[in-house]
Chains A and B, each alone.
Chain A
Amino acid sequence: MMNIHAHTPNLELTARARRVAAVATSHADSVDRDGRFPAEAVEAMRTERLMGVQIPTAFGGEGASTAEIAEICSILGQACSSSAMVFAMHQIKVSSLVTHGGDDAWHQGFMARVAGEQLLLGSATTEGGIGGNMRNSICAIEVDGDTCRLEKNATVISYGDQADAILITSRSHADAAASDQVLTVFLKDQYTLEKTHVWDALGMRGTCSDGYVFKGEAPAVQILPRPFAEIAAQSMLAHAHILWSAVWYGIAADAFAKAQAFVRAAARKSPDMTPPGALRVAEASSLLQGVKASIVAALEMYEAARENEDKLSSMSFSVAMNNLKIASSQTILTIINHCMLICGILAYKNGTPFSLGRHLRDAHSAQLMISNDRILGNTSNMLLIHKQDTSLLG
């Protein structure tokens, strides 16, 4: 199963993902309505052994490629956005372990535990007072002999209550600059969480992205050996934008499938008359293909760059990944809105086969999880010096 080409679907893995998606679909409305953790879908992910698929076979995983993980995200996104986003966020954390922890004994052992025990990894990169820039920390880790301690005002830890371990950023020592950060793994029995905010949001309600005060103490070997700046540039940036986009594509693809079914049903009733929504289906199809193509192109670019540290930390790579995030997060809203116009009141109402309220609300998170304005600000800064490649295939 290792290193198969980006475009060859791994049928065994997609079959497992589809079984999880079936579970996720049947609970999606109650997860959304009650703003509760998608426990049944995550349990199904564990049953299908999906938590550790990205981990190399040497450490008990299956060495799944980023493309394969993205395909799972898309399949789950078509069923329940919250379940899909929990899976994506977990896999983004796993990617940092796989990319940056592979040479280090403790992190190797931890990867084996993630695969063996199907552990769910959470992330604590946001902090009160940093203005939303996860590349800055206020809190600092304190290393005292073999032990490290950290207290952080983590304004968001998605599924913090349910995570089996949390990967958390901080400054590397008490005197370090705000951008001199490290990432540390804390296991559930090594920290306490005191809840400060409860997640009651427009969409993505099942991610349970509550705020907490985190207090942890663990062996210092659990600090990842590379600076967080490298981790962010070399594994997080690409995995976050690609896997999020795959989830968002899934949401839009499901909305599109409903809209197409709506128009087909109308066309079958009166074959001599083109249904009024038919043109919009064609338009949405074109937009959806654009999102898909952008994700596939980003996957190819990442596969080509991933063994080359210079390429991964180059501006052209950052600009390309930022552009993927901007394009997919904006386009899915247009697509889902088209689908709502096509299905009309049946899309607007809850509880019909064509309901799209949840899709539309969940999709609105895409522009905000790392604000598009912040990303455009970074990209525009880079474009002052980086010259965009204008070739078609280059």
Chain B
Amino acid sequence: MSAVEAIRSIVAKHGKLPVDVATLQDDADLYAAGLSSFASVQLMLAIEEHFDIEFPEDRLNRKTFSSIKAIAEVVTELSEDQQAA
């Protein structure tokens, strides 16, 4: 499963969105789709667990979780960094 697909299924499970995640483009605004700040934390926790990464402080902001694409970019970057470390 690609990172984007994995993230999609995590968003579907933990994002508590009022819309079907399958209808969202990768770059669709998740906040406009109804992602609450509360659910975004649950999303972060599930993503940390799934990819075995930890979001550093400077990534804990709205931008990181603005779209599936944005999450995938940060996850890819962190996976590379944290595996290299």
A contact set with B: CB distance below 8 Å: 135, 172, 176-180, 227, 229-230, 233, 310, 313-316, 378, 381-382, 384-387, 389
| Pair A180/B60 contact, Cβ less than 8 Å | no
Given A229-B62, A386-B57 in contact, is the A180-B34 Cβ separation under 8 Å? yes
Taking A227-B31, A384-B45, A387-B57 as given, write out 13 further A-B residue pairs in contact, using a Cβ cutoff of 8 Å, ordered by the A residue number.
Answer: A172-B32, A177-B32, A177-B34, A178-B34, A180-B33, A310-B58, A316-B57, A316-B60, A378-B38, A381-B41, A382-B41, A385-B48, A385-B55
Contact A314 B41 (CB under 8 A): no
CB neighbours (8 Å) of A381 from chain B are 38, 41
Which chain A residues lie closer than 8 Å to B61 at the CB level? 310, 313-315
- Across-interface contacts of A310 in B (CB, < 8 A): 58, 61, 63
Tell which of B17, B18, B41, B62 touches A313, judged by Cβ atoms closer than 8 Å.
B62
Docked Cα-Cα span, A178 to B41, in Å, equals: 18
Choose from B18, B19, B37, B48 the contact partner of A378 (Cβ within 8 Å): B37
Number of contacts between A and B (CB, 8 Å)? 58
B82 at the interface (CB under 8 A from A): no
- Is B19 touching A177 in the complex (CB atoms < 8 A)? yes
CB neighbours of B55 from chain A (8 A): 385
What residues of chain B lie closer than 8 Å to A316, measured between beta carbons? 57, 60
Number of interface residues of B (CB under 8 A): 22
5 chain-A/chain-B pairs, Cβ below 8 angstroms: A135-B37, A177-B17, A310-B63, A385-B55, A386-B60
Contacts of A378 in B (CB 8 A): 37-38
Instruction: Check: B9 CB closer than 8 A to any chain A CB.
Output: no
A residues near B63, Cβ cutoff 8 Å: 310, 313
Interface residues of B in 47-75 (CB under 8 A from A): 48, 55, 57-58, 60-63
A233–B31 CB distance below 8 A: no
